[in-house]
Amino acid sequence: MDDRPLRGVRVLDLTNVLAGPYCSYQLMLLGAEVVKIERPGQGDLARRLGPEPGLNRAGVGASFLAQNAGKKSVELDLKDPRDRATFDRMLGDADVLLENFRAGVLDRLGYGWKVLERANPALVYCAISGFGQAGPMSGAPAYDQIIQGLSGMMSITGTPETAPLRVGFPVSDSVGGLVAAMAICAALAGRARTGKGSYLDVSMLEASMSAMGWAASNYLVSGVPPEPMGDQNATAAPSGTFDTADGPLNIAANRQEQFEVLCRLVQREDLVVDDRFADREARKVNRAALNEELNAALRRRPALEWEELLSGAGVPAARILTVPQAVQLEQLRARGFFTDLPFPGDTARTLRVSGNGVLVNGAALRPESPPPVLGEHNTEVHLAATDEVAAP
């Protein structure tokens, strides 16, 4: 599709592993040209990460494949004078420079914000790091699990018996990448008005705490610290995971009318007039008793039947799926969420990658090419540099 909103935007991507590559993947899906600048002979560490050792050895590990479709790969050593000259030329044509080194690394390489701003006043420079570019922790190393722990996220994940637990996917990396992509898009919109670039300093710790919502705000506003509640929702009841005849079912009857419909459909209308469950606050106090009554009623039918019955009546309810089950959902297929691409280096396989959940003018955002092998676009860059030198 030619009407993607970032069509014509060029991104130089110096990032590794997840938060940065996830950010640039979002920009690519929105139409940007993303050029990965990778260390010669090594590349993004994610090239060697994933469950298949053979792919890791080939430099196309599953972690890399998931976040890098549609991008270009160029090998440059920013400590080598010739490669620095090439990078300098690329900076002049770039709209965005993205990196996720530890704070201060790019500055020590000679490419701090003051240098970049002089070289290209319209450049949007985004630095993603664990803690931001300033402050007493700015120089500390950080990975997703470190941020999950420091943010308080792990302390409220699980039950009182099992917490603290790591969230089952790298949520701090993903949130940090999304915040960076949002900030870059905002900076590009601002540049369209002023003509000036921006320096964006993204902290994964701060992004994660911002995303925690009520878990932080309840404490900040009311002084009530959150506690691990397993599969229950602290803000409402009945809202959590319940038993059925063949497996668990999520129900979020957060509004009074939803609670009343739920009670009618499970043939327990007596619960509506029970003083223990009369309103939201009463139901939260008596959550355990209410859940026991509902579980007994819900065990009479299988989860899918309840999902269809409750959801059809306006009560949010759905089964709990495994990842293999989730990727088979007809809803995802209908919206074109997945894209099949040629598998890098293996014509016998097909690579399926995710979109980002956005339709633009009714069309899903899709990568137009598979993830690049390391240095796949070296010749393209060097030819451009040669043409530039030869031009009158």
Rounded to an integer, the average pLDDT of 203-222 is 95
Per-residue pLDDT tens digits for 313-336: 999 999 999 999 999 999 999 999
Give yes or no for residue 44 having a pLDDT over 70. Answer: yes
Q: Please determine, for residue 186, whether its predicted confidence score (pLDDT) is greater than 70.
A: yes
Q: Where do the domains of the chain lie, and which CATH numbers do they carry?
A: 10-211+333-390 (3.40.50.10540), 239-319 (3.30.1540.10)
* 273-286: average pLDDT: 96
pLDDT at 116 over 90: yes
Dmax over Cα atoms in the chain, in whole Å? 87
Which residues is 200 bridged to in the sheet?
A: 126
Average pLDDT over residues 210-221: 93
What's the pLDDT score for residue 386? 54
Q: Is the pLDDT of residue 252 over 80?
A: yes
Distance, in Å, from the CA atom of 157 to the CA atom of 254, rounded to the nearest integer, reads 21
Q: Which two tokens stand for residue 93?
A: 């044509």
**Whole-number Å distance between alpha carbons of 167 and 241:** 17
- pLDDT tens per residue across span 76-109: 999 999 999 999 999 999 999 999 999 999 999 9
pLDDT band at 211 (very low <50, low <70, confident <90, very high): very high
Burial, 161: exposed, middle or buried (Cβ in 10 Å; 0-12, 13-18, 19+)? Answer: exposed
**Which tokens is 244 given?**
């059925």
Tell me how far CA of residue 192 lies from CA of 42, 126, 169, 227, in angstroms: 37, 17, 36, 45
**Structure confidence by residue, pLDDT tens digits, 120-140:** 999 999 999 999 999 999 999
In this prediction, residue 345 carries a pLDDT of 84
Rg (CA), the chain: 25
Q: How far apart are CA 346 and CA 370, in angstroms?
A: 12
pLDDT(1) > 70: no
Whether the pLDDT of residue 145 is over 60: the answer is: yes
Query: What is the pLDDT averaged over residues 268-274?
Result: 97
Residues 6, 343 contacting (CB under 8 angstroms): no
Q: What pLDDT shows up at residue 118?
A: 95
Q: What is the mean pLDDT of residues 360-389?
A: 84
pTM, entire model: 0.93
Is residue 392 very low, low, confident or very high in pLDDT (cuts 50, 70, 90)? very low
Neighbouring C-beta atoms of residue 46, cutoff 10 Å: 24
Give percent above pLDDT 70 in the chain: 97
83 is catalytic: no
DSSP string for 353-380: EE--S-EETTEE---SSPPPPTTTTHHH
What pLDDT score was predicted for residue 380?
Answer: 86
pLDDT, residue 383, reads 60
pLDDT of residue 35: 98
pLDDT band at residue 390 under the 50/70/90 scheme? very low
Instruction: Measure the CA–CA gap between 90 and 380, rounded to whole angstroms.
Output: 12
pLDDT band at 50 (very low <50, low <70, confident <90, very high): very high
106 within 8 A of 112, measured Cβ to Cβ = yes
Residue 160 has pLDDT above 60, yes or no: yes
* Annotated catalytic residue, options 2, 173, 201, 274: 173
Average pLDDT of the residues of the chain: 95
Give the span between the Cα atoms of 21 and 204, in whole angstroms.
Answer: 14
